[in-house]
Structures are given as C-alpha cells and as structure tokens.
Amino acid sequence: MIDPATEQAADRSSDGKSAVPEMALPRPTIRKMRWPYPLIWIVPIVAAVALAIYLHDHSKDDGPTIRILFKDAGGLQTDETVVKYRGVEVGKVSSIRLSDDHHYAVVEVHLRRPAASIATAGALFWIVRPEISVGNIAGLGTLVTGPYIQALPGTGPADLEFTGLEKPPLVPDDQGLWLVLHIDHVQNLQPDSPIFYRGVRVGTVEEVQLAPDSTHVNVHTVIWGRYAPLVHRRTQFWRISGADVKGGVFTGIEVKLDSLQALLTGGIAFATPETDAGPVATEADQFTVHDQPKSEWLSWSPSIAINPASGDRAPRKNPSKEAHSAFDSVMGKK
C-alpha cells in the first residue's frame, strides 16, 4: 500500500529528475529526514493549551480591588495582611497609603474572584488585633501572624469604597435584643461585662455612656437572640458585684461568689415575674438597674420557652442527612 503523500512526492522528485540531469540524487534523503519534524509542533500547541489553562485559572481567581479607609492601619502589611470572612482568606492587602487629607489610612485590598460579592454596600471591615482585657482575650493568634482584616459582607449593590470600623461591630449576625438600661453609677461595669439570668450568661454589656442630660448612665446591652424572650416589660434588673460578703455575730462571715468574671468586670442580673410580667420587651422599653435585688425577685421562676440554639435547631434524628442538605443548599446556590 502506498501512501498518497509519498506517491505525490515521488512524482515530484521524478519530475525534478527529468528536468535536471543525473546529479540531484541527495534529495530523497532530505525528504526522508524531513517528515517527522512537523510532529514537533505538538510541543508549542501543548504549551499554548497550558498557557490558556494557566491564564484561565489566574483570571478566575482575580477579583476586584476595593479601598477601605481606616483611622489606624498599624500592623497591616502590603502583600501579607489577609482579609478573612468566616476564617477563609478572601483577599490580600495590596497597598497602604495615607489619604490626601491625612485623616485616614487608605488600604487597598485585592479580593479573590469567588469572594467578590463581599464587596457590596453595607459590608463591614475591621482590623483584628490581639486584645487582652479583663475578662476577655481575643485575637491571640494575631500576636504571631500580625493583624488581619475581618470582613462582613453587605447586602446592597456592589461597591468598591468602604470605611473600616474602629472595633468589631456589636454581635455580628445574631438577632439579639438591644436594651438600654439606666443606672446611677457604673462602678465597675464596662463593655463585655456579663448579663446573667439565673446564673447563666445570656448577654453582654456593649457600651457604657453618660446619658445626654448626665443624670444617669446608659448601659447599652444586648441579650443574645436565644434568650431574648426572657425579658418582659416588668423584668427587674440589678447589679451584681461578683462577691457578696455578709457578716454577722452568729452566722460568721459568709462570702458568696457569683462569677469570677463578674468579680472583675461587674455584671447585671435580671429576673422576670411569674405573673403580670407584661409583654415581651422590645428595644423601646426602658429599664433601671437596681443596686440590690428584692428578695422576692430571686424566687421568681416563670416558665418561658427560649429559642433553640442556632447550632442545633434541627432535630438530631439524622445528623448526616441534615449536613448533606445543608451542603447541597450551599453548593447548589452556585
């Protein structure tokens, strides 16, 4: 069997032979050497395919660059500081400079493409630094790694300019009940002081501020979403100092410790009456914190259903199936 190409080439060479006298003998050798070489062009073709794949991968990971204004960008480093959301790295700081009016540090962040949707109006950014205070140690890992920027996506349209927060936003993604409690004197109450119900921590003091008319102090607190139903309109709040020392001639000295943290940071406890408690409290309700509980408050024990914990809302019958459906709903969204 003769290959048509070979045949054609043979024809050509015989034509050449007929035109030129006997001397053109080396030509068939050249032809024979030539045929495998075009195969080598597979190499650049493979290289081109590899290039296409590389560039596709690269562009897939390449998101927008956003700008965040911080009052203080101390500790942030170009190309090293990362932006995280739910513990996942979603971007990296690409440049840090001073704003034109010198009021802000302008931090440019290069987001990864899959995380581009974080940059939407209303998104919050703050810098996580090691924080050690009485009753609270946070961000210890950043002692070694340096600070990172924590992101919380917004819900609005895409945006590229943001103003960073000075400190973490108060209770992100938790449907807590915000209350303003009035108190005469803060004593040792401070942000992060606990709020107790029957000795269980159910909330946190977020901010302590003097009232606008300076007649009292407003203690901004959040009762965590799970425990919000515990607070009714007639709920009574009182201060706990952590330690309660009573002395008597016949009883000796009695020391009562509520909580070690409360000993250091103070705290607030509350109780809700069994009868005539009023409707469930809303954020508009005002409460006063008393210095001492009345003895009957301590015996109140109403039956109030609290919200299930967000972690185990589902019945625990078939956890694996539950996990799968959660996985599907997350992955399916894409």
Write out the residues near other proteins by the rule CB under 8 A.
26, 30, 33-34, 36-38, 40-41, 43-44, 46-48, 50-51, 54-55, 57-58, 79-80, 82, 89, 141, 144-146
Residue type, 207: E
Closer residue to other proteins in complex, CB, 79/161: 79
For residue 57, the minimal CB distance to other proteins (Å) is: 7
Closer residue to other proteins in complex, CB, 27/201: 27
Helix (H) or strand (E) holding 260: helix 260-265
Closer residue to other proteins in complex, CB, 40/284: 40
Closer residue to other proteins in complex, CB, 54/327: 54
For residue 90, the minimal CB distance to other proteins (Å) is: 14
For residue 328, the minimal CB distance to other proteins (Å) is: 30
For residue 150, the minimal CB distance to other proteins (Å) is: 15
For residue 82, the minimal CB distance to other proteins (Å) is: 8
Residue 78 near residue 94, CB atoms below 8 Å: yes
Q: Which two tokens stand for residue 80?
A: 């090293």
| 84 CB neighbour count, 10 Å cutoff | 15
- Angle, CA 23 vertex, CA 20 and CA 29 arms, to 5°: 105
For residue 10, the minimal CB distance to other proteins (Å) is: 19
For residue 96, the minimal CB distance to other proteins (Å) is: 15
Closer residue to other proteins in complex, CB, 37/250: 37
How does 244-253 read in b/e, with b if 16+ C-beta sit within 10 Å? eeeeeeeeee
Residue 222 near residue 206, CB atoms below 8 Å: yes
The Cα 191–Cα 94 span in angstroms is 34
Q: Which two tokens stand for residue 100?
A: 């034109």
Residue type, 235: T
The Cα 299–Cα 278 span in angstroms is 18
For residue 17, the minimal CB distance to other proteins (Å) is: 15
Closer residue to other proteins in complex, CB, 64/146: 146
CB neighbour list of residue 263: distance below 8 Å, 6 or more residues apart: 241, 242, 243, 257
CB neighbour list of residue 155: distance below 8 Å, 6 or more residues apart: 120, 121, 122
Closer residue to other proteins in complex, CB, 51/326: 51
Residue 152's φ and ψ, nearest 5 degrees, are -135, 110
Q: Which two tokens stand for residue 332?
A: 């399916």
Q: Which letter does DSSP use for residue 117 in this model?
A: G
Q: Which letter does DSSP use for residue 232 in this model?
A: B
The Cα 181–Cα 265 span in angstroms is 17
CB neighbour list of residue 325: distance below 8 Å, 6 or more residues apart: none
For residue 188, the minimal CB distance to other proteins (Å) is: 36
